[in-house]
A and B are shown apart, each in its own frame.
Chain A
Amino acid sequence: MKKEFIQSEAAGPNGWTVWGVSGRIDITTAEDAYARGEEIVRKSGKTALDLSEVDYVSSAGIRVMMRLFDLAEDNGKEFTVVGAAGTVARVLKETGMDTLLQMQETVNDLP
């Protein structure tokens, strides 16, 4: 079943801001996701995108993560991804994103 695309924001451990997304990150939601992600990245020191409720990440979604990673890097901040599993984890792995982002399995694993 398709999950509705919902975004949330919460404080995580060790000063991380956890940006929760559910549903799909694809061409239709990528713009929204990037706008929200950019906002969070700009105001937070460390941003973790929680993908545990995400069913699917398309190449547009990969691009969102890539741009946010670059944005964080350019501003001396940190951006990573947690909770990726199944298809999402496989896509991240196939595209090499796992090597770029220091991905963690859960929020609690954040350094």
Chain B
Amino acid sequence: MRSENENNRTPDEETRVPEENGGSWKFWRNAKLSIHKKLFFVLLVVSAVSFLILSIISLVGMHIIWEGVGAGGERMGHKAAEFTEDFAEDTIRGQMISVVAEKASRTERVVSLAAEEVEYISGHLDRILRQPADYKPRILPQASQGPVPSGKTYVNISDRVRQTEGITAFNEEIWLASNIADVFESMADYYPACFAGSIHGYLIAADVTADGSDKTFSDYFKRDYDPRTMGWYTLGTGRQKPAFTNVYTDSNGVRSVSIAMPYHYPDGSEAGVVGIDFNPKEVDDVISVIESSDLIMGDASFVLSPTGEVMFSTQKEGVLAISETRRDLRNSEEISLAHAAAIMTQGGTGIATITADGKEYYLAFAPIQSVGWSLGIVTNTESVLKLAQQARENIDAQTDMFRHALRSLFIRLAIWAVILLVGIFLVLFFVSEKVSTIFVKPLLTVIDGVNGIAQGDLDRKLNVKTGDEIEHLADCVNTMTDELKEYMNNLSSVTAEKERIATELDLATNIQEGMLPGIFPTFSGREEFDLFATMDTAKEVGGDFYDFYMLDEDHIALTVADVSGKGVPAALFMVIAKTVLKNATISAAGAYAGGGEPDFAAVVGQANRQLCENNKEKMFVTVFFGVLDIRTGVFAYVNGGHNPPLIGRAAGGAPRAGGSLTWDYVQIENPGFVLGVRKKASFTVEHLTLRRGDTLFLYTDGVTEAMDEEGNLYGEEQLKGYLDRAGNKETAQAILAAVKSDVSRHVGAAEQSDDITMLALAFYGKQSGQEPAPQEA
């Protein structure tokens, strides 16, 4: 039922959005969502927000890592590239040094071997000349006699030498020295020429022809050749060690290097110079074969003589090629080259950057110590730098690839994160929905059960076993239902009892009201007066009553009374009081027949005594009782502790005849005591005379003590004031209605606390009769 009422809420209520502070919270509170939806939203929002924060942190973290790693990677790449560049350069330079040292060492071995052969020849000749007894004279073919086989030893004494030296004097020496022939011929396989030039001008030699044909001799050779004029002779003479010529082209057009040193007579003086021709190709081979290596890009290698001349070179032209002019590189115009050449000739080892032929080179050099040469290898710096540059570019490219890979990884991760976010959000959605349902299901069971109970099914039991507050709630509802059931069982009996009592009270009220003369006009046909009475009971059956009855043709008794208290006791007491008073009055009314007036004080006294009988509860009644003689207007009255009535004196006739009333309270000299409590209470009869048009107004304290909401009494002053202002009515009924209306206005919304009983009698007197009615004052 409740939910239906909620659904019937006006749209205005539903869409009302709070405007105060904390609007969202109020909105949440005011949003008429079911717990299921609220729980669902809370779960969903909390989960989603947590996940969102996590995702943002992850993405931001990833982004920071990406930035950091990317930048770091880039820096690292640059550093690595720089390092690689330096490293490549250093490596190449280092390798150049190592290669040049190794080449120098190999060259050294090649030339040392040849030098050792020369030393051997020299020593052998020295021994031959020192120990002639050990050798037989040997006669070798003479060049002048014609060609000799290739590689065979021969002797040449040119014509000019014969003429100048008188060579025959040395024949024995020539024959002795000719024993070197075996040595020469043993070396023929390795050296193209072995020779010994005597200080006396003869030559012993063995030549190997290029094609293996016999050695032929030129005319010059036979006629003018003098070994002592040869370069190799002048080079070798005076030496302790073999000396090397520069590379030269011999008479046969073959490039050659001669190695020469002296040989000696037994006395130590020089007997001549021996030498061999050394094929420079061996050195060329050594220096030109660069080890296969990725890094070494030797552009050229060369051998520098102690005098700074290029002896061997892989360069065919340029400053590093073999120079016909025997130029000294130490004097080169290129300072860097000249400086490096100077270090090389001094036997230095190292690497330098030089400029040659307008290009920059690295020059690595190492000495060939046994011959005083220096081997140099040059590599174009551009190629080295290019290599290093390539390495750097390679690393840079790798770095870029790394960055791109990282970027695409990040994007992939971000896409996956978003997909995951959506996926997890969907999962959260369904999980939240499910969890909400699980949580709310017991509640729905409770709601369903409570609805059933609300529709009257008190035997319904809620079966919720969740072990939480909802189970507790369900238990409470079960207990409440049990108690409700028991209560309702009790209630129905109590209600039945109450209903019975209420019915009886209603009955009592009806009986009470029925006891009052209630049919108006009561005295139809009576023109002497107009009488009207009302009693508005308060909630409960009350104790007020009014009464009027004719005692005989001319006397009407009026009573207004108020029993103390309320309810059935008061009603019963009222019945007794009314009955007792009426009985006593009627009993006494016989006095009229005798022409006198009954003793109303005694009447009231008798009623009082009767009421005092067995009145242990001290119930009492206030009574205003009076009897009007409608012929004379004399009104005899007794007051038993009751409010004094009002009398409206007419001026200019009755209101219905256009006159007006002036109201005042009836003067009561002896108020008398209330009836029912004091047996000995005495009462006094008082009289007043009504004139035509005068009106009596009797009431109970329900009128003057009617209270408004503030607790203010209507009051006697106000009652009189109102009657003066508005009591000028044509009928008694109209007067009562006006007063009732004014009292109601005063009471307002307050509850009527007491019975309001009023009685009004307008006296007109006998219109025709023996005794005229009293005239107006």
Contacts and interface: CB of A to CB of B under 8 A. Distances in A.
Contacts of A97: 641
B747 to A, nearest CB: 14
Tell which of B644, B711, B713 has the most Cβ of chain A within 10 Å. Answer: B711
Contacts of A70: 618, 677
Interface string B747-763: 00000011000000000
Contact of A24 (B620, B622, B643, B711): B711
B620 A63 contact: yes
A52 B620 CA distance: 25
Tell which of A1, A24, A91 has the most Cβ of chain B within 10 Å. Answer: A91
Contact of A59 (B622, B681, B713): B622
A67 B618 contact: yes
B513 interface: no
B546 to A, nearest CB: 16
Interface in B609-661: 618-620, 622, 639-644
Given A56-B705, A70-B618, A96-B671, A2 B710 contact: yes
A104 interface: no
Size category of the binding interface on chain A: 20 to 34
A38 interface: no
B672 interface: yes
A66 B618 contact: yes
B544 to A, nearest CB: 10
A40 B753 CA distance: 29
A95 B673 contact: yes
Interface in A55-85: 55-56, 58-60, 62-63, 66-67, 70
Contact of A94 (B671, B681, B753): B671
B754 A95 contact: no
A27 interface: yes
B644 A62 contact: no
B569 to A, nearest CB: 11
A99 interface: yes
Tell which of B566, B643, B671, B672 has the most Cβ of chain A within 10 Å. Answer: B671
Contact of B713 (A27, A56, A96): A56
B711 A62 contact: no
Given A1-B711, A27-B565, A60-B565, A93 B671 contact: yes
B233 to A, nearest CB: 159
A94 B565 contact: no
Contacts of A7: none
B674 A95 contact: yes
Contacts of B277: none
Given A27-B565, A59-B701, A66-B677, A95 B671 contact: yes
B562 interface: yes
Interface of A: 1-2, 24, 26-27, 55-56, 58-60, 62-63, 66-67, 70, 87, 90-91, 93-97, 99-100
Interface of B: 562-566, 618-620, 622, 639-644, 671-674, 677-678, 681, 701, 705, 710-711, 713, 715-716, 753-754
8 contacts: A27-B753, A67-B618, A87-B715, A94-B644, A95-B671, A96-B640, A96-B641, A100-B678
